[in-house]
């Protein structure tokens, strides 16, 4: 449930309004930089937003995924699930040599 003290997470737009004033709707989308629920026949159907806002959202997602990956890696180190770099390279070279011999 949305906290009434916080601004809404979405703006609302009807398909009829978009059809009546597409340029005005696009300008509002750009200016607000917030996602907008597009209602068709009174029911929310789609979420639309400006390209700039969407790109910003993707960048935030990429940073969040990278952060999660870093924390997972640190947890693996703490649990002792890693090997030293020289050992990893040695094992890779050994596997590659075995593949070449069996080919």
Q: Is the pLDDT of residue 34 over 90?
A: no
Do 68 and 39 fall into the same domain? no
Tokens encoding 81:
């699930």
CA distance 53 to 34: 7
Pair 26, 63 in one domain: no
**Alpha-carbon gap, residue 70 to 80, rounded angstroms:** 15
d(CA 103, CA 48): 54
Q: What is the pLDDT of residues 18-33, one digit of tens each?
A: 999 999 999 999 998 8
Which of 32, 49, 66 terminates a domain? The answer is 49
The domain tally of the chain equals 2
Residue 27's nearest CA partner among 39, 37, 18 is 18
Check whether residue 45 and residue 64 sit in a common domain. Answer: no
pTM: 0.64
Structure tokens at 58: 């993707």
pLDDT, averaged across the chain: 91
List the domain range (segments joined by +) for residue 15. Answer: 1-49
Which residue bears the tokens 């806002």? 53
pLDDT at site 68: 98
Decide if 16 contacts 41 (C-beta within 8 A): no
């Amino acid at each position: 449930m949305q906290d009434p003290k916080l601004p809404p997470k979405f703006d609302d737009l009807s398909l009829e309004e978009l059809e009546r004033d597409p340029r005005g709707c696009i300008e509002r989308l750009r200016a607000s930089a917030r996602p907008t629920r597009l209602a068709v026949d009174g029911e929310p159907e789609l979420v639309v937003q400006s390209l700039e806002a969407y790109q910003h959202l993707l960048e935030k997602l990429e940073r969040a995924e990278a952060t999660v990956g870093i924390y997972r890696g640190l947890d693996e180190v703490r649990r002792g699930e890693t090997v030293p770099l020289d050992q990893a390279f040695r094992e890779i070279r050994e596997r590659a040599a075995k593949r070449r011999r069996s080919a």
